[in-house]
Amino acid sequence: MSNLVDIESVRPIHVWGEVVRARRIEGERVTLALVELAPDAHVPEHRHAAEQLGMVIQGSVQFRIDDEVRELGPGGTWRIVGEHPHEVHAGPAGAVVIDVFNPVRDDWNALPTSDARPAPWPANG
């Protein structure tokens, strides 16, 4: 992979079926992902070894980490320590978020992909 890539040229991974797709860029120890959540998408409670940081770019989400629940819009951030339970509900307009994981999310390697198409962010215009 090139060190310089436009995100819309990256094939989306179906992380939670058609309703949650991610375009990822990986380093040796970190994954950067632009994640698209369909309107009212639900990411059920789960946990993973990777530490996760993220931020809402467009739309809104309701995030639950452990027992803390919060509505987040553009600029809202999260920090998830590895192996802590969390879940997400996208708002009625869906959401676009950026997630960063350490170590890399190599468990995503087996997930299906679809053809690259324009990414929802940054907005062209």
User: Six-digit token pair at 79?
Assistant: 């920090």
- Where in 19-125 does DSSP place strands (E)? 20-26, 31-37, 42-46, 51-65, 68-72, 77-80, 86-102
Per the model's pLDDT, the better-predicted residue between 116 and 64 turns out to be 64
For the domain made up of 14-108, the CATH class stated in words is mainly beta
Within 13 Å and on the Cβ side, how many CA atoms surround 69?
6
- Using the predicted structure, report yes or no on whether residue 125 has a pLDDT greater than 70: no
Band of pLDDT at residue 124, cut at 50, 70 and 90: low
Q: Write a three-state SS string for 100-121.
A: EEECCCHHHHHCCECCCCCCCC
User: Mean pLDDT over residues 82-90, rounded?
Assistant: 98
Beta bridge mates, 33: 24, 99
Integer Cα distance of 37 and 99 in angstroms: 12
- Using the predicted structure, report yes or no on whether residue 120 has a pLDDT greater than 90: no
- Can you give the pTM of this predicted structure? 0.93
Cα 41–43–114 angle (5° rounding)?
Answer: 70
